[in-house]
Amino acid sequence: MLRERAIAGFQARWAVAPTHLAVAPGRVNLIGEHTDYQDGYVFPAAIDRYLVAAIGLAPERSELVSESNNEPSIFNTSTPEASDLPNWGKYPAGIAWALRHHTGADLPNLRAFIVADLPLGAGLSSSAAIEMAFATAWNEIAGLGLPKGVLTRLGQLAENEFVGMKCGIMDQTASLFGVAGHALRIDTTDAAHPVPVPIPDDLALLVCNTCVKHELAGSAYNERRSEVEEAARILGVSTLRHATLDQLATEQGEMSPVVARRARHIISENLRVLAFDHALASRDDAEIGRLMAESHESLRADYEVSCHELDTMAEEARALPGCIGARMTGAGFGGSVMALVHQAQATDFADELAKRYTERTGKVGQIHLCHAADGASTVQL
Ligand code: GLA
């Protein structure tokens, strides 16, 4: 068990017992990709793959240790410096920086021993999980009393300003507000009020990790973001949430073909999220599958964030018995495909998909049967 492993790791390292345990889930996104930094709609679910940190107060400086990385993250909560830290350690340090920036209060330094069964770099938001684990931890231990909607915004701020990744608000919201058995319909202009939508019992969530990680993901992500900001400027809207496909068709001559395609993805993806919500509520499985396939195609052709392995995984998933829909999930450039599959066929689906993926790509993927889970929290031990 993760919790026992985290507690034992803490005790072995510092010869005292931890006082708190932070648990934060990863997420998949059912539909609504790359829309969250343009005020759009998203439809993620927290999943039962977790990051767990056993935590206690530290005498002088924060010392965070991860089971999966040799380099600890050592900093003082009053002056964390991103350039001094290993990449993974920037996320929790960024939370300390953002909390201090927001509250003006001194934050206690912490020791933590971190374990996870959430694969890293798989497009399942291990970064938001570590952010929300430490946001809830400091909120609890320092008695800050900040509401969830503030913690998610501070997570985004930490990632945007401290880590340098210009992400939206979806991942933090999914990781903190997740509800077991439900996806969250989120209007990102009101991300503090996500609406839980039940995932029907007969549908299984399959996360199909290509095990491909593209190193350029961060810079390509920020580049997409500036392209769509340019499109919004040319269209005369604050964000593409307020633009229509007709408007784009009329004005696309004013922008480069690449910027026009980026904008078309965002505007059409927002429409697909709303249609998906209806299709799920009315259990129109054919429509669910169609929308997921269209979303993937738009991400591949217009937004250009897919890759051969993601395309192959999605294509093979769709061809298998029991699959209702499949598409890439998360930022892209590698990572995972998510598939909605009839529960009764989920195990055969996973075995067969792993086989076919290897046959076609020569790579070994990982197929995880996941369940929608509750959001992050920190408890006293
Ligand atoms: C990453 C970001 C999110 C979102 C997705 C793409 O996961 O952290 O904010 O933009 O990519 O939908």
Question: Residue 15: which residues within 8 A CB-CB, separation 6 or more?
Answer: none
The pLDDT value given to residue 215:
63
Q: How many helices (H) and strands (E) does the chain have?
A: 11, 13
Nearest to 277 by CA among 290, 288, 264: 288
Q: What pLDDT, in 10s, does the model give residues 307-358?
A: 999 999 999 999 999 999 999 999 999 999 999 999 999 999 999 999 999 9
331 lines ligand 1 (CB under 6 A): yes
Where are the alpha helices (H) located in the chain, listed in sequence order?
A: 2-14, 87-103, 126-141, 148-157, 170-177, 217-235, 245-251, 257-281, 285-301, 308-319, 346-361
Distance of CA 103 to the CA centre of its chain: 26
For the CA of 32, the closest atom of ligand 1 is 12
Verify that 82 and 167 share a domain, yes or no: yes
Is residue 289 over pLDDT 70? yes
269 lines ligand 1 (CB under 6 A): no
Distance in Å, CA 336 to ligand 1 centroid = 13
Verify that 138 and 225 share a domain, yes or no: no
Residues in the chain: 381
At 213, is the pLDDT very low, low, confident or very high (cuts 50, 70, 90)? confident
At 120, is the pLDDT very low, low, confident or very high (cuts 50, 70, 90)? confident
Tell me which residue has its CA closest to atom 9 in ligand 1.
168
The pLDDT value given to residue 143:
96
Tokens of 252: 């696309």
Q: What is the CATH number of the domain that holds 256?
A: 3.30.70.890
Most ligand 1 atoms within 8 A of CB, residue of 167, 225, 333 to mutate: 167
Q: What is the CATH number of the domain that holds 159?
A: 3.30.230.10
- How confident is the model over 86-111, as a mean pLDDT? 96
- Rounded CA-CA distance 110/4 in Å is 19
The tally of domains found in the chain comes to: 2
9 lines ligand 1 (CB under 6 A): no
- How confident is the model over 231-235, as a mean pLDDT? 98
The pLDDT value given to residue 20:
98
Nearest to 48 by CA among 153, 166, 104, 129: 129
94 lines ligand 1 (CB under 6 A): no
Verify that 49 and 160 share a domain, yes or no: yes
The pLDDT value given to residue 363:
97
* Catalytic one of 171, 190, 246, 277: 171
Verify that 226 and 79 share a domain, yes or no: no
The pLDDT value given to residue 217:
64
At 119, is the pLDDT very low, low, confident or very high (cuts 50, 70, 90)? confident
Q: Please tell me the number of Cα atoms within 13 Å of 93 on its side-chain side.
A: 27
Verify that 37 and 186 share a domain, yes or no: yes
Verify that 186 and 280 share a domain, yes or no: no
171 is catalytic: yes
Tokens of 327: 């598409």
Q: What pLDDT, in 10s, does the model give residues 133-182?
A: 999 999 999 999 999 999 999 999 999 999 999 999 999 999 999 999 99
Is residue 214 over pLDDT 80? no
- Rounded CA-CA distance 381/378 in Å is 9
- Rounded CA-CA distance 271/269 in Å is 5
Distance in Å, CA 45 to ligand 1 centroid = 13
Verify that 174 and 60 share a domain, yes or no: yes
Residue bearing the bigger pLDDT, 215 or 310: 310
What is the model's pTM?
Answer: 0.97
Is residue 216 over pLDDT 70? no
Verify that 248 and 341 share a domain, yes or no: yes
- How confident is the model over 238-246, as a mean pLDDT? 98
Verify that 19 and 111 share a domain, yes or no: yes
Tokens of 272: 């697909």
Most ligand 1 atoms within 8 A of CB, residue of 28, 29, 37, 170 to mutate: 170
Verify that 243 and 131 share a domain, yes or no: no
Most ligand 1 atoms within 8 A of CB, residue of 34, 159, 225 to mutate: 34
| Domain enclosing residue 236, as ranges | 203-370
Verify that 193 and 221 share a domain, yes or no: no
Q: What is the DSSP letter of 158?
A: I
Whole-angstrom Cα Rg for the chain: 21
Average of per-residue pLDDT values in the chain: 96
Verify that 182 and 214 share a domain, yes or no: no
